[in-house]
Amino acid sequence: DRVFFPLAFIALSTNPLFVPGLLAYTMESFPEEDRSKAIGIEGTFTSIFATLGPSFAGFMALSNLMAPFFTSTFLELMALAITFTLPDLS
């Protein structure tokens, strides 16, 4: 499909870009005494959704093979838009 490869490229290339930024923003957002708790919560939710995501995508693919890619691309573009609207904490 002509749509599959661009969507797969967006989904697979933008996701690793958010992890270092998310960690840095978390470190800047919380005071030093709460920082380890915040990073632990972030890691917990990242692991939970990394575990549940493929299962959810598998169920979506039962109805339409392109649905996981459309959903992933939509969520990645939303995350990118939100990234540009976050205030600078420095």
Q: How confident is the model at residue 31 (pLDDT cuts 50, 70, 90)?
A: very high
pLDDT the model gives residue 40: 94
Give the Å distances, CA to CA, from 44 to 11, 38, 47.
22, 10, 5
Beta-strand (E) ranges in the chain? none
What pLDDT, in 10s, does the model give residues 48-86? 988 998 899 999 999 998 888 888 888 888 888 887 887
d(Cα 86, Cα 68) in Å, to the nearest integer? 27
Every domain of the chain and the residues it spans: 4-85
The CA distance from 52 to 56, in Å, is 6
The two tokens of residue 82 are 């939100």
Determine the Cα–Cα distance for residues 72 and 11; give it in Å rounded to an integer.
Answer: 6
Report the alpha-carbon distance of residue 41 to residue 16 in Å, rounded: 19
Token pair listed for 83: 């990234």
